[in-house]
Structures are given as structure tokens and as C-alpha cells.
Structure 1
């Protein structure tokens, strides 16, 4: 059996906000080799790791992580209709038709952590196609406009030098839960 390549370190953005995710199952969408799924499992969450790449999923497999292969861009219906997750993590992936179903899949009190490439990133490398790059303020606008009671805890749109130069947008948002302790949302 061939050894897997080492798993990259979790994004500092995800590491920063992952502790805000309440107990419950977390969806790691477009999980790749599992850098965030592993972090979330280490924090005690059952993790559903989803990707279309079978090799990536094989590298992702670990205790506390259930891997599922789905090509979410195939036009098939959203496979998690009616399910709710305590947290949803997406990094380095954008398929705009999934934004609304993702927000709908977040349970009350749940946390969305999303980070991906922004317009202008082509000057630093891939991706460079507008299909895979968020327009200025697009991620923030999508979260705010979606009628699901989201509270934005943090948002950034700009240049990152590490782990490689890139233009990104990233957001952490909490789905409003009327009975929740407001201090939790502010404990950054």
C-alpha cells in the first residue's frame, strides 16, 4: 500500500473559528485530502467529508470522519436536502448554485466558515477563471441576502501572502438561534 502524501495544515481562518462550532455533525464540502475534516474531528465533531475525487477521499479517511463521493456540479439535486449541520466548512471551492443550499443546511446556532478565491487572483496563479472567483463583496452579500437569520462574525476580502500569494474572500457567520447565549457569538 502506497503512503499518502502529508496532509496540508488547516487554514488559519478555519482554525480561528472552528472552536465556535457547537456540538454536532460538521460538513466539510470539497474536503480534498481532509486537512479541515481532521481538525474538526480532533475538536470532537463527527464530520461528513464530501468531495468528487476518490483519491482525495481515501487520504481524508480517519476516525470520526465519514467520507462521501459526490460530484456536486453534475446537475444532480443537492444530496443533503432536509439535513442540518452544526457547522459547514468550505475552502478553495466555489460553485455558486450551492451557496443557497449550503446556507439552508446550517442548523440554528450553526457556524459557516467559508474561504475561497476572489477576482484578480489570476495574477497569482490558479484559479483564474471568473467562474471560480468571487466578485468584490460577493460572499458577504450572499450570506446577508439569504433569508436564514445569519449573523456575520467576521469577513475579509483581500490579499494573503501565506501559504501562497492569493486574493481571497472569507467569512464566518452564525445562524441565529433566539435562545443562544449572545456571548458565544462574540467570543472570537
Structure 2
């Protein structure tokens, strides 16, 4: 059981507005917060030290709201959330901040934003770079369990999956990057991410040691070594999913990236290399938000390893 603390309609005057004119004069703002605390209510002791002092929370919110200027309510809300998670032992914060008399015609009450955030999400919000949008979009398809991140690099995808309850193994040849990944997981109180330093491009015969039917999810982003595909597929449990995205030859043609065309997929090549899997999603073409403002040409695939057939009787 946890304590649920509510502060309704905390009002103060703050300088928040897109224009300098709007920020020049403090305007009435209101904040509502609901906090889930990481301990049981203190009714059995009747001592303030055994709970969260909501008067202190209100004081800190007002201090920030009245002394720090911001262009956006979103900016002010992020400052509130950073303070709440840093200064108080809470697990979740639900915050509603609004302008009570906004300078907008026909708005008769208020305008504002609501944010509901967990402590873990707050910690991960500062990790850069963000996970690939394709992985975020496909998260609902992924079975829970054990995940393998191949060519993990700095581990943005490993951290994303670990934060959602996956037991993650991360593989890369960059030992320093994997050390930083393990430290980032520890700093955000995530389950330990197992790392293994290995050069995946050793000459044949070479077994990368992914295991046989070991993982519920295997992910590969922006890395291509064609001889690994049989091992990636073998590493999946029956019913497990492969998530893959990397550059196509069109990206080399348009942007000369990656630096060598051999690092890019030919048209439909990803489908051919995963022909033993059940394709759940495939898209090949220009995608926004992959690398900066320009469109990036990639192939995106979600494929499932078939379940074993029931033995005949």
C-alpha cells in the first residue's frame, strides 16, 4: 500500500508566456498535483516525519513558479517534476498546470497541460539519444521476457526495453560504450543489463554465441552484417519477434550515408534474409525522424518465429 497525496488548486502569480510582453507582468497560474508516495500512510504514528509534508511541497512549487521565468507551461511543468522527484520519495506524479486568465480571445476559464509521470520515466527522460521511433511504435507487439540487443552501441534501446521490464543482453564490440550502458542502467535503478564485448564481424567459421531459442525479442538497429541472420533467427524462441531497421541503398544514393554502399540493404533484401519467419510488419522507404530533419531511407521489419507444430498422434 502507498500514500496518495493531493494538492488542489495551488494558486500563485508567475511569469510564463511566449512573448516578452506576456512575461513582463506576472499572471495568475494554478497547479494541481497528485503524488503516489513510496511508503504507507502515517496514520498509525501521527508524526509528520513519517509522511510527506504537503505544505513543503506547496512551498517549493510556489518558489519555482514565482521566481523562474518560462516561455512555455511545459517548461515550468518539467521544472516542477524535476523538483518533486529529486526532493521527495514519490513513485508517480500527476500534475496539472494552467493559466487562469490566458490572453486568448473567447477562452473564458483556463488553458493548461497535464503530465502523468513515474519516477523511472523521469529518470529515463534525460537519457539521450532517444530510442528509435520504430521500436517505440512496435512496443505493443513485443512479448515480455528476455531481449537481445545486437550492436547495442550506447544502449539507448537496451535502456528502453529494460525500463519496460525486459531482461536485456547487450552485445557490441565497443567495450567503453557497454561500460557506460551498464553504468546508466545502475544510475536509473534499472535491472542490470548484461553486456558482452565481441567483434561480430570475425571471419567464418564464427559463432557469435547468441544461443539457441534463448530470446523472446531480438532487436537490431542500424547495423548490417549479413552472415549473422541465421544466428539471429536461431536465437529466437518459437513465437519470439525480430525487430530490425537499417539503411537501404536509397539512403546511400540520396545522402551518401553510410560511407559504404555494402552497409546498406538492397530492395527487399531484408525480406529474403528472414523468409523463414512470419512477417508482421514491413516497410521500406523514406522515414522521418530517424536522423535529424531530413528523410532517411530505411527498411523496417517485425517478424515472428513460427511456433512448433504439435506432434502428430
Give the TM bin, normalised by the shorter chain: 0.7 to 0.9
- Whole-angstrom distance in 1 between the partners of 2:162 and 2:215: 14
Higher relative contact order (CA 8 A, sep 6+): 1
After superposition, where does 1:140-151 map in structure 2 within 5 Å?
140-144=271-275, 146=276, 150-151=277-278
1:110-169: per-residue Cα shift (whole Å, max 9, x none)?
11100001002122242142221000000012111x3xxx21110011012323232111
Equivalent runs, 1:51-70 vs 2, <5 Å? 51-61=172-182, 62=185, 63-64=190-191, 65-70=193-198
2:290 to 131, 150, 163: 163
Give yes or no for contact 2:284–2:299 (8 Å, CA) kept in 1. yes
CA RMSD, Structure 1 to Structure 2 (Å) = 1.9
Specify the alignment match of 1:80 in structure 2. Answer: 210
| Cα offsets for 1:35-77 (capped at 9, x unmatched) | 1101111111100011111122122211331111111102342
Q: Any idea what SS the aligned residue of 2:246 has?
A: strand
CA distance in 2 between counterparts of 1:7 and 1:152 reads 31
Q: How much does 1:17 deviate?
A: 1.7
Q: Which runs of 5+ in 1 are unaligned?
A: 180-188
Instruction: Provide TM-score, normalisation by structure 2.
Output: 0.52
Mind listing any 5+ residue stretches in structure 2 that lack a counterpart? 1-125
Is the 2:145–2:215 contact (alpha carbons within 8 Å) kept by the matching residues of 1?
yes
TM-score, length-scaled by structure 1: 0.84
- Give the equivalent residue in structure 2 for 1:30: 151
Give the stretch that moved more between structures: 124-133 or 45-54.
Answer: 124-133
Match of 2:164 in 1: 43
- What secondary structure, in the 3-state scheme, does the structure 1 residue paired with 2:244 have? strand
CA deviation after TM superposition for structure 1 residue 83, in Å? 4.8
3-state SS in 2 of match to 1:163: strand
